[in-house]
């Protein structure tokens, strides 16, 4: 089954929206992807100033053939964004338009209903299935990779001491000890970055497959390796929620380890659920003054007790860094990768011979990411509860 193509044979129109959230510096397109969209036969319109916070002035887009216009969203067939559109934005979209963004659908039923009521077909990039053909579209990985890198930079900035061991005539500076909790994409990049900076790195995760990855990066793995641990990974590669008994054993091991660490970086998230608490208030207090915790899960409730979204909390000299949208703190790189994720997905919806939009609603990528269509919420995981 195929969707509409642009009426009257005109070219499909793609609009790049400017983010209205002042805390969101990323943009959904780059000069590189604009060129690629044009090669597919699309017209590209960009809202003025859309890329400024990512170091992309309007001139960068016009130089590759895009139009910069306050009417960019008008009559657009596809609207690409970073964050889910708010009601004021939806009012500008034509019915039937495809809206593709990081939608944060879990627990946001009213926002999904608003998109359905607006008549747009909304797609959530973060629901992209983790299969081989979709790797280039995996926004969670592209953004988490940068968040893991930035977490180490934030930790280093707050730490106030050097990371590598330095032997000088004035004395020796010991290497910083960094502990990474949660070894997904963000955690692996945090390990690699901390190692590059010369830290002594340890890491933990409930998935046994990560032990080899941690050790391959030159870090030491820390876990209670019992039978439950050996079976602790979902088919999709995500961490399973562990039993209370296992959590208690792991917490005891972790508590002893954290006392000796300089920097702790937590990255544990389970899709659709509050972030698991990994570091208790007691564990925080057990650390040395001058120590730093960086909580990458703060937007979902946080892994560290006492972490506050958007703040650096100082507890008697121990800092808990709770910056939100950490990938956005490397906005130019994050935008470039996100733009490529978007292009790779949209490319699958275009009939290259006819150079027209032709969505195959039976495609597994479309089925996995489509939230709304024809005035209804269609994704099975977000169906309104009767």
For each of the domains in the chain, give its residue range(s) and CATH number, in order of start: 7-137+331-373 (3.40.50.720), 146-329 (3.40.50.720)
- Dist. CA 39–CA 266, nearest whole Å: 42
pLDDT, one tens digit per residue, over 67-88 is 999 999 999 999 999 999 999 9
pLDDT of residue 234: 58
Round the average pLDDT of the chain to a whole number and report it.
93
User: 3 falls in which pLDDT band (50, 70, 90)?
Assistant: very low
pLDDT of residue 239: 62
What is the SS3 assignment for 265? strand
pLDDT of residue 248: 86
pLDDT of residue 375: 96
List CB contacts of 77: < 8 A, sequence separation 6 or more.
6, 12, 13, 14, 97, 98, 357
Alpha-helix runs per DSSP H in the chain: 31-39, 58-62, 87-90, 109-117, 139-159, 185-196, 210-216, 227-230, 244-258, 281-286, 331-347, 364-369
pLDDT of residue 273: 85
Nearest to 123 by CA among 372, 357, 363, 350: 372
User: 244 falls in which pLDDT band (50, 70, 90)?
Assistant: confident
Mean pLDDT, residues 292-320: 96
7 pLDDT above the threshold of 60: no
Nearest to 221 by CA among 179, 259, 165: 179
pLDDT of residue 10: 76
- pLDDT > 90: what percent of the chain? 84
pLDDT of residue 308: 97
pLDDT of residue 194: 98
Quick check: 278 and 304 in contact, CB under 8 A?
A: yes
User: 230 falls in which pLDDT band (50, 70, 90)?
Assistant: confident
The lowest-confidence range among 24-28, 39-43, 247-251, 308-312 is 247-251
Q: In this structure, are strands 177-181 and 263-266 parallel, antiparallel, or unpaired?
A: parallel
pLDDT of residue 142: 97
State both tokens at 233. 């990974």
- pLDDT > 70: what percent of the chain? 95
Cα 135–Cα 137–Cα 140 angle in degrees, nearest 5: 85
Task: Provide the greatest CA pair distance for the chain.
Answer: 77
The lowest-confidence range among 39-48, 106-115, 204-213, 326-335 is 204-213
- Dist. CA 136–CA 373, nearest whole Å: 25
What is the SS3 assignment for 351? strand
Just list the catalytic residues. 130, 135, 138, 141, 238
The lowest-confidence range among 139-148, 158-167, 249-258 is 249-258
Distances in whole angstroms, Cα of residue 204 to Cα of each of 209, 214, 224, 375: 11, 8, 10, 45
What is the SS3 assignment for 273? coil
356 pLDDT above the threshold of 80: yes
User: 272 falls in which pLDDT band (50, 70, 90)?
Assistant: confident
């Amino acid at each position: 089954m195929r969707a509409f193509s642009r009426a009257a044979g005109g070219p499909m129109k793609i609009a790049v929206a400017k983010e209205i959230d002042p805390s969101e510096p990323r943009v959904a397109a780059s000069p590189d992807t604009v060129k690629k969209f044009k090669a597919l036969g699309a017209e590209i319109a960009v809202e003025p100033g859309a890329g400024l916070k990512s170091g992309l002035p309007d001139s960068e887009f016009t130089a590759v053939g895009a139009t910069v216009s306050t009417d960019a969203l008008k009559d657009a067939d596809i609207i690409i964004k970073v964050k889910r559109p708010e009601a004021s934005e939806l009012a500008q979209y034509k019915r039937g338009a495809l809206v593709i963004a990081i939608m944060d659908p879990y627990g946001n039923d009213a926002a999904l209903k608003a998109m359905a009521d607006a008549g747009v077909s909304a797609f959530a990039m973060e629901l992209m299935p983790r299969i081989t053909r979709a790797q280039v579209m995996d926004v969670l990985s592209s953004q988490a990779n940068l968040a893991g890198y930035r977490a180490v930079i934030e930790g280093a900035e707050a730490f106030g001491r050097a990371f590598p061991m330095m032997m000088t005539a004035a004395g020796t500076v010991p290497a910083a000890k960094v502990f990474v909790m949660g070894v997904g994409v963000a955690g692996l990049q945090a390990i690699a970055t901390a190692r590059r900076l010369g830290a002594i790195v340890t890491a933990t995760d409930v998935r046994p497959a990560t032990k080899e990855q941690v050790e391959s990066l030159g870090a030491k793995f820390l876990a209670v390796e019992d039978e439950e641990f050996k079976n602790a990974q979902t088919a999709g590669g995500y961490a399973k929620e562990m039993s209370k008994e296992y959590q208690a054993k792991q917490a005891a091991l972790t508590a002893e380890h954290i006392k000796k660490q300089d920097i702790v970086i937590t990255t544990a998230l389970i899709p659709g659920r509050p972030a698991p608490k990994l570091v208790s208030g007691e564990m925080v207090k057990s650390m040395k003054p001058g120590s730093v915790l960086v909580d990458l899960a703060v937007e979902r409730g946080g892994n560290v007790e006492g972490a506050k979204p958007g703040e650096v909390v100082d507890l008697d000299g121990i800092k808990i860094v709770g910056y939100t949208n950490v990938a956005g703190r490397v906005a130019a790189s994050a935008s470039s990768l996100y733009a490529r994720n978007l292009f790779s997905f949209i490319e699958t919806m275009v009939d290259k011979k006819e150079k027209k939009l032709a969505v195959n609603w039976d495609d597994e990528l479309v089925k996995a990411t489509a939230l709304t269509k024809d005035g209804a919420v269609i994704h099975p995981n977000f169906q309104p509860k009767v």
